[in-house]
């Protein structure tokens, strides 16, 4: 991987593309309810292609933050992460809960402080916010992982244990119809991406291993697509039996995309004006994720579009991103606004 400025440029590009990819997933909600025809297949294809977006976000966190001890102490690290994640998450979760209650789109019965707290903390009113809970838990694990940053063998061991438990065990149990009731010894389902992000950034794989990784990544995304397509059509419902970010095919695909994108010479390909703006755009990704579902709601309401529209599933992905980005940039200009949208 590149060094210095180019390295940061790669992270910014990946961050922005992953953010757009998440929006692409949410624009293709049609895939969750099976419908025979090209529209559903198209949505499945987009979901499979963009499914690496969340893992890539986690890998970027590992790549950029696991060596935080080289810059500041653990107290400073935790303070920075809590301010940038916890405050925006809780603020917008509360705002969107109140908004949904007002428009009659969500109910709390009974309406008490406990049901409000439950809706916010467990992302019941804004389901996509599950990501922030997982991200926060990974941040809390980083002080331990960071202490091991120079012991790559131990980090690879942790990644391997997590891969066996969260990536392979569910698939083995499903296909063999056999359940092994064993708890995860070390880690959580998404922590593997944090570890792999750091390992693959600090020592990128050599050409032969890259080729193997690319083949595994391609095989992973094709497996997910064709398996889901076949069994969904066969059973008449969307098959989710091999869906999951930590599953082995998803890990292969995310790692392949991460390594491939980091090898692209962005510094030579992108114009200087765009390169100068990328850090500011990238810093808005957290805020874009926070508000884009509401932007989508009003886009649908004003334009009368639905999940069945091909324009909604494809053309409006960059539109939603651009509108959300503009709103976040405006919020960040308000005094104290950056604390509301993270980044």
In this prediction the pTM is 0.92
Tell me the residue range of the domain where 238 lies. Answer: 4-341
Q: Which of 57, 40, 26 is nearest to 257 (CA)?
A: 57
Between CA 94 and CA 119 the distance in angstroms is: 9
* Cβ atoms of residues 228 and 238 within 8 Å: yes
Q: Which of 53, 28, 47 is nearest to 285 (CA)?
A: 53
Number of independent structural domains in the chain: 1
Helix, strand, coil percent content, the chain, rounded in steps of 5: 75, 0, 25
pLDDT of residue 7: 47
Q: Is 75 exposed, middle or buried (0-12, 13-18, 19+ CB in 10 A)?
A: exposed
Mean pLDDT by 10 residues, the chain (343 residues): 55 96 95 92 96 96 94 93 89 92 87 91 87 89 94 95 90 84 76 96 95 97 97 95 94 98 93 93 94 94 89 95 97 90 79
């Amino acid at each position: 991987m590149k060094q210095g400025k180019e390295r940061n440029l790669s992270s910014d590009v990946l961050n922005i593309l992953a953010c757009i990819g998440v929006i692409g997933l949410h624009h293709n909600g049609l895939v969750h309810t099976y419908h025979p025809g090209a529209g559903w297949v198209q949505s499945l294809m987009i979901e499979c292609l963009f499914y690496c977006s969340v893992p890539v976000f986690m890998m970027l966190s590992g790549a950029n933050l696991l060596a935080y001890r080289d810059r500041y102490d653990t107290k400073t690290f935790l303070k920075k992460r809590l301010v940038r994640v916890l405050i925006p998450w809780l603020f917008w979760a509360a705002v969107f809960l109140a908004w949904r209650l007002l428009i009659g789109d969500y109910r709390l019965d009974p309406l008490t402080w406990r049901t409000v707290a439950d809706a916010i903390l467990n992302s019941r009113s804004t389901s996509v916010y599950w990501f922030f809970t997982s991200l926060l838990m990974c941040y809390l694990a980083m002080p331990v992982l960071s202490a091991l940053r120079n012991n790559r063998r131990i980090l690879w061991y942790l990644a391997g244990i997590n891969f066996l438990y969260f990536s392979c065990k569910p698939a083995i149990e499903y296909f063999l119809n056999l359940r092994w009731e064993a708890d995860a010894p070390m880690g959580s389902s998404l922590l593997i991406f944090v570890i792999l992000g750091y390992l693959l950034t600090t020592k990128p794989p050599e050409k032969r291993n890259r080729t193997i990784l690319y083949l595994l990544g391609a095989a992973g995304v094709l497996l997910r697509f064709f398996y889901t397509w076949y069994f969904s059509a066969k059973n008449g419902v969307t098959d989710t039996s091999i869906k999951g970010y930590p599953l082995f095919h998803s890990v292969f695909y995310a790692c392949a995309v991460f390594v491939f994108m980091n090898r692209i010479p962005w510094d030579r390909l992108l114009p200087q004006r765009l390169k100068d703006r990328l850090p500011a755009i990238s810093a808005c990704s957290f805020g874009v994720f926070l508000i884009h579902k509401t932007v989508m709601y009003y886009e649908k309401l004003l334009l009368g579009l639905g999940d069945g529209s091909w324009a909604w599933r494809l053309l409006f992905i960059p539109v939603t991103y651009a509108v959300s980005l503009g709103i976040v940039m405006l919020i960040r200009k308000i005094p104290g606004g950056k604390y509301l949208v993270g980044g």
